[in-house]
């Protein structure tokens, strides 16, 4: 009789532990999905930024200018490094 009670209590404790661990894993999964979505939005923003920079400089004036062209090229380099090649 006592063994049955102890086994029942152990079963309840194990169920609680498993449930608690499952909740923690689900929270971690949600965090990973949120982080991936944020990274995707940043990548999309950088790509849009690069396209707008090209639209603004359709004549190539900024790229060819000494000081402005250097900043323009540095921005393009940073964007190209951040945006993964798909």
The domain segmentation of the chain, as residue ranges, is 18-82
Phi, psi angle pair for 57, to nearest 5°: -105, 50
* Residue entry with tokens 């004549």: 59
Burial class (CB in 10 A: 0-12, 13-18, 19+), 63: middle
Percent of the chain with pLDDT over 90: 33
The model scores a pTM over 0.75: no
How many other CB atoms sit within 10 Å of the CB of residue 72?
19
Per-residue pLDDT tens digits for 15-43? 999 999 999 999 999 998 888 888 888 88
């Amino acid at each position: 009789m006592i063994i049955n009670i102890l086994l029942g209590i152990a079963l309840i404790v194990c169920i609680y532990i498993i449930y608690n661990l499952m909740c923690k894993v689900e929270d971690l999964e949600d965090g990973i999905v949120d982080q991936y979505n944020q990274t995707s939005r940043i990548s999309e923003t950088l790509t849009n930024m690069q396209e707008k920079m090209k639209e603004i400089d359709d004549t190539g004036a900024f790229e060819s200018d000494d000081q402005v062209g250097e900043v323009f090229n540095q921005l393009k380099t940073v964007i190209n490094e951040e945006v993964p090649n798909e």
